[in-house]
Amino acid sequence: MRGSPRVRLIKWSLHYGVLFLFVVAALFPLYWLVKISLTPNDSLYTHSIDLWPATISLEHYATVIGNSDFLLFFRNSIIVSGVTAIASTLLAAAAGYAFSRFVFRGRYWIVGVMLVTQMFPLVIVITPIFSIFGPLGLTNSLTGLIIIYTAFNIPFATFLMQSFFDGIPKELEEAAMIDGATRFKALLQIIAPLTLPGIAATMGFCFTGAWGEILFALLLNSAASTSTFPVGLLLYSTRATIEFGPMMAAGVLALLPVCIFFFLIQRYLVQGLTAGAVKG
Amino acid sequence: MASIDIKNVRKDFGPVSVLKGVDLAIASGEFAVLVGPSGCGKSTLLRLIAGLEDASSGEIHIGGRRVDDLPPRDRDIAMVFQSYALYPHMNVRDNMGYSLRLKRTPQARIAEIVGRAGAKLGLEALGERKPRELSGGQRQRVAMGRAIVRNPKAFLFDEPLSNLDARMREQMRFEIRKLHRDLGATSVYVTHDQIEAMTMADRIVAMNAGIIQQVGTPLELYDDPANVFVAGFIGSPAMNFLTGEARRGETGVALSVGGKAFCTLPQAVAVPEDGRVTIGIRPERIRIGVGAGQAVEAAADLVETTGAASVVHVDLAGQAMKIFTTERLQLSQGQRIPLAIEAKDVCLFDPAGGGRLR
Ligand SMILES: Nc1ncnc2c1ncn2[C@@H]1O[C@H](COP(=O)(O)OP(=O)(O)OP(=O)(O)O)[C@@H](O)[C@H]1O
Ligand SMILES: [Mg+2]
C-alpha cells in the first residue's frame, strides 16, 4: 500500500496542501482583525491594501479601554457567560446522568420535548419572552439573559453530557456502591472525575454560545449598564460611520476571555481518562 | 462470614421473566459456583444478592438477616466484576483502600490492611500504578485485592477470569481457591465454564433459563445428573445422548439403539409407555474392545488426539457418539470396532421433559 517515493510525495503534498489552505482560510479573518486593530487611524482609510501596516499603534486599544464603556460590557459578558456556563453544565450534568442511568416514566416524552425546543428558530419566541420578562423585571437585567441562555443551552448540553456518562461503564458506580458509597458519593468521587473532559467540553460550548449571542442581548437589554460586549460592538457602527479601528480592537479584546477560558479547560478536554477501568 | 439464603426469588425485566422462582441456601464459608449457559440469569441472581437489582418477589437473607430493602453498601458483601471495574483515576493502593476510606478508617490502618492484601496477591510493587498501566492479570488481582481488604460477609464473583488467557485462568483458579481456603469466606462464583465450576466448587448450582436445575458437589452432578441439561452441561467432552428404546424384561430393562441391543439395566426403571428414552453415557466410560458389560459394535469415524488422550468419534446405528480414551489407536474410517458398555454407567432420560428416569 505504500507506493513509490514519488506517489508518496504527491500524497504528502496534497495532504498538507489541503490542511494549509484550510488553516489559512480559517485564520485569515482573525489576522485581518488584528491587523486593522493595530493600524493607526491616518493610514486606515488609504486606498492601498497592505498585508501589514507601515507603523503599528495601540491607539484604538487606548480608545476602547479609556474612552468607552467597553470594560463594563466586558464585565457583563463575563458574568453572563460564566454563570450560564456553570449553571447549564451543572443542570445538564444532572439531567444527562439521569437519562444515562435510570429508566423512568416520562423519559421518552422529556427527550422529545427537549428535541422540539431545538427545532424552531429563536426569533419566534422573542416577543413572548419579552412580554413575560418585562413584568418580572428581567429585562435590562443580566439575570434575565442568564436565565434565557441557560434554558436554551440545556437541551443540547444534556445530550452532550448524557453521551459522556454513557461512555463510563456503570459497573464503576456499582463497584463504589458495593464498596460502601451512596449513589451520590459514587457520582461525586468516581464518576465526576472521569467526566471532567465532558464537563469541560460542555462548559466551553455553553460559554462561547453565551459570549457571542446578540439577538436576546440586544432586544432584552437596552441600557448600557446591562449590555454585553457584542451589543457594545454595534455602537461603533452608527448610521453615519463605522469606526473600524476601535471596533476591531474591541473584537480582539473580546477574543481574550474565550482564549483564556479554553486554555484553562483544555487539559480536561483530552480524552482517555477512563482507560484501564475495564479490560484493556 | 455468613450464610446466604434465597427464597423463591423471581426477577422480571418488563415482560421478560429472567429468574423464575429460585430457592438456594449457601452455607457459611461455602464456595458455591453458579454455572449455566449465557443468558440463563446467573449475573442477575448475583446482582440481586449484591443489591444492585431489586427482586420482583421473594426474599434474600445474608447471615440470617433479610436484606431485600438494604442498599448494596449496607449488605457488607464484596464483588469482583467481570470487567474488574477498577477506578481508572485512582492508583492501585487507592483502588484497594477506597472502601476503607469510606468507612473513615485511619490512614495508617488503611495502609497496613492494603499492604497486607497487596502482599498476599503479589501487588507490592504496583501500588502507585494506575489501572491502565497494568496487565489484565494484574488488574484482576487488584480487583480481588479490593474485595479482600473489605473483610466482608461474603464474596461475589461474576466471571472474574473470563478475560484472561487460558494459562492465567488456570493459575488464578488455583489462587482464588487458596485464598478461599485461607479466608474461609462464603463465596458465590458465577461462571459459564463448567471446568471452572468442577475444579473450584464446594457445591455447584447448575442453572438454565432462570431455573435451578440441580445443586450438589461437583461429583454428584457429574455422576448423578438430575436431567439432560446437567448431564450435557457438566463434563468435557460432553455426555453422549442416544435415542433408544427400553423394554421391561425379566432380568431388568433392556435398552436398544436402532434395533440393536445396547445394554440391560438390572434395576427397575420407570420407563415411558411407548418405551422411547434418551440414553446417556459418558465418553470415558465406554471401553473400546471386548470387556465387561454388553458388547456393542460401532463404526469408527474420526480420531482427535491431544497427546495425553484421544477422542474417537464413532457411528452407532446411525447416531454419533464420542469415546474418550488414553490409548493411542490407529483407526481407519468405517472400521468396525467392538465397544463394551456397563449398565452402571448408563443414565436414562425422558425424551419429552428431559428429566432423569430412575
Ligand atoms: N436490565 C435488563 N433489562 C432487560 N433484560 C435484562 C437486563 N439484564 C439482563 N437481562 C436479560 O436477562 C437474561 C439473563 O441475563 P444475565 O446477565 O443474568 O445472564 P448470565 O447468565 O449472566 O449470562 P452471561 O453468561 O452471558 O453473563 C438475559 O436474557 C438478559 O437479556
Ligand atoms: Mg453474566
Helix (H), strand (E) at residue A148: helix A142-166
So what's the pLDDT on residue B4? 95
Which ligand 1 atom sits nearest the alpha carbon of residue B190? 22
Quick: pLDDT tens for A220-276.
888 878 888 888 888 777 767 778 888 888 888 888 888 888 888 777 765 544 444
* Distance in angstroms (rounded) separating the CA atoms of residues A242 and B167: 77
Helix (H), strand (E) at residue A75: helix A70-101
So what's the pLDDT on residue B301? 92
Residue B105 exposure: Cα atoms within 13 Å on the Cβ side: 20
Q: How many structural domains is chain A composed of?
A: 2
Q: How many of the other CB atoms lie within 10 Å of CB of B343?
A: 16
State the best of A174, A177, A179, A185 to mutate against chain B, taking most chain B CBs within 10 Å: A179
The answer as to CATH 1.20.1250.20 being correct for domain B240-357 is no
* Distance in angstroms (rounded) separating the CA atoms of residues B83 and B159: 9
State the best of B75, B89, B133 to mutate against chain A, taking most chain A CBs within 10 Å: B89
- Do the domain assignments include residue A177? yes
Whether ligand 1 lies within 6 angstroms of the CB of B40 is answered as yes
* Distance in angstroms (rounded) separating the CA atoms of residues B180 and B195: 18
- pLDDT: is A2 or A192 the higher one? A192
Burial of B211 (0-12, 13-18, 19+ CB in 10 A): middle
Percentage of chain A surpassing pLDDT 90?
32
So what's the pLDDT on residue A48? 67
The nearest alpha carbon in chain B to A175 belongs to: B85
- Verify that A131 and A90 share a domain, yes or no: yes
Fold (CATH) for B4-233: Rossmann fold (3.40.50)
- Do the domain assignments include residue A35? yes
Dihedral sign from CA coordinates of A21, A22, A27, A29:
positive
- For the segment A157-178, the average pLDDT, to the nearest whole number, is 92
Q: Any idea which residue has 419572552 for its cell?
A: A129
Whether ligand 1 lies within 6 angstroms of the CB of B44 is answered as yes
Q: What is the ipTM of this complex?
A: 0.85
Q: Any idea which residue has 428404546 for its cell?
A: B245
- Verify that A22 and A119 share a domain, yes or no: no
Dihedral sign from CA coordinates of B204, B210, B213, B215:
positive
So what's the pLDDT on residue A171? 92
Report how far apart, in Å, the C-alpha atoms of A191 and of each of A188, B29, B33, B303 are: 6, 34, 32, 54
Pocket test for ligand 1, best of B11, B17, B18 (most atoms within 8 A of CB): B18
So what's the pLDDT on residue A275? 43
Contact at CB, B87 and A280, closer than 8 angstroms: no
- Verify that A49 and A119 share a domain, yes or no: no
Pocket test for ligand 1, best of B44, B48, B188, B208 (most atoms within 8 A of CB): B44
So what's the pLDDT on residue A277? 47
| Shortest alpha-carbon distance between residue A102 and chain B (Å) | 12
Asked if B64 has any chain A CB less than 8 Å from its own CB, the reply is no
- Verify that A99 and A179 share a domain, yes or no: yes
- Verify that A38 and A75 share a domain, yes or no: no
Asked if B128 has any chain A CB less than 8 Å from its own CB, the reply is no
Which residue has the CA at smallest separation from atom 4 of ligand 1? B13
Cβ atoms of residues A265 and A204 within 8 Å? yes
Asked if B104 has any chain A CB less than 8 Å from its own CB, the reply is no
Return the closest-CA partner of residue B141 out of B151, A168, B125, B154. Answer: B125
- Do the domain assignments include residue A275? no
- Do the domain assignments include residue A280? no
Which residue has the CA at smallest separation from atom 29 of ligand 1? B39
Q: Give the structural domain span for A186.
A: 60-269
- Do the domain assignments include residue A279? no
What residues in B contact A171, CB-CB < 8 Å?
81, 83, 85
* Distance in angstroms (rounded) separating the CA atoms of residues A231 and A72: 12
Cβ atoms of residues A152 and A122 within 8 Å? yes
Q: Any idea which residue has 492501585 for its cell?
A: B92
The nearest alpha carbon in chain B to A171 belongs to: B85
So what's the pLDDT on residue A70? 82
Q: Confidence class of residue A47 from pLDDT cuts 50, 70 and 90?
A: low
* Distance in angstroms (rounded) separating the CA atoms of residues A220 and A132: 11
Which residue has the CA at smallest separation from atom 6 of ligand 1? B13
Instruction: Give residue B158 CA to ligand 2 midpoint distance, Å.
Output: 7
Contact at CB, A177 and B73, closer than 8 angstroms: yes
Could you tell me the residue ranges of all domains in chain B?
A: 4-233, 240-357
Asked if B86 has any chain A CB less than 8 Å from its own CB, the reply is yes
- Tell me whether the omega of the peptide bond preceding residue B237 falls within 30 degrees of 0, making it cis: yes
Q: Which residues of chain B have pLDDT under 50?
A: none
Q: Which residues pair with B80 in a beta bridge?
A: B157
- Which of B75, B86, B102 is facing A276, going by the closest CB pair? B86
Sequence-separated (6 or more) residues with CB below 8 Å from residue B117: B96, B123, B145, B148, B149
The nearest alpha carbon in chain B to A180 belongs to: B73
Asked if B192 has any chain A CB less than 8 Å from its own CB, the reply is no
- Verify that A41 and A98 share a domain, yes or no: no
Burial of B333 (0-12, 13-18, 19+ CB in 10 A): exposed
- Verify that A99 and A162 share a domain, yes or no: yes
A122 has pLDDT over 90: no
Retrieve residue B3's grid coordinates.
450464610
Which ligand 1 atom sits nearest the alpha carbon of residue B16? 5
Which residue has the CA at smallest separation from atom 24 of ligand 1? B38
* Distance in angstroms (rounded) separating the CA atoms of residues A90 and A157: 10
Instruction: Give residue B42 CA to ligand 1 midpoint distance, Å.
Output: 8
| Shortest alpha-carbon distance between residue A275 and chain B (Å) | 6
Quick: pLDDT tens for B29-87.
999 999 999 999 999 999 999 999 999 999 999 999 999 999 999 999 999 999 999 99
- Verify that A30 and A109 share a domain, yes or no: no
3-state helix, strand, coil in chain A (%, to 5): 75, 0, 25
Asked if B283 has any chain A CB less than 8 Å from its own CB, the reply is no
Q: Which of A59, A76, A92 is the last residue of a domain?
A: A59
* Distance in angstroms (rounded) separating the CA atoms of residues B208 and B36: 6
